[in-house]
Amino acid sequence: MSWVKSVAREVWGLFVEDGSFAAAILAWVVIAAVGMRVVAAASWTGPALFAGLAVILIESVVRFARKRK
């Protein structure tokens, strides 16, 4: 049964290396989806989603670079 756990851990690691990065992306997608429903100007949802994901990516890269030093 331990091999099942190790296989599951490896598969999870293929898609989610940094748990906080994945959680931030999921949270931002949910916020953008709710914002699209609440705000009448749905034309801003795409750029806001992109900007938020870009900020999350930049923060993750900076955090990884600092940890690497």
Q: Is residue 36 part of a domain?
A: yes
* pLDDT tens digits along 18-56: 788 888 999 999 998 888 788 766 677 788 899 999 999
- Domain count within the chain: 1
Least trusted range by pLDDT, from 3-12, 37-46, 52-61: 37-46
Q: Contact 28/52 with Cβ under 8 angstroms?
A: yes
Instruction: Give the pTM.
Output: 0.72
pLDDT at 40: 65
Residue 39 lies in a domain: yes
Let me know if residue 54 belongs to a domain. Answer: yes
Q: Is the Cα torsion angle 52, 55, 57, 60 positive or negative in sign?
A: negative
Q: Where does residue 36 rank: exposed (0-12), middle (13-18), buried (19+ CB within 10 A)?
A: middle
DSSP of 10-40, one letter per residue?
Answer: HHHHHH-S-HHHHHHHHHHHHHHHHHHHHSS
Q: Would residue 3 count as lying in a domain?
A: no
**In Å, what is the CA distance from 46 to each residue of 1, 37, 62, 64?**
44, 13, 24, 27
Q: What is the structure's pLDDT at 25?
A: 92
**Domain of residue 49, residue span:** 17-68
In a domain? residue 32 = yes
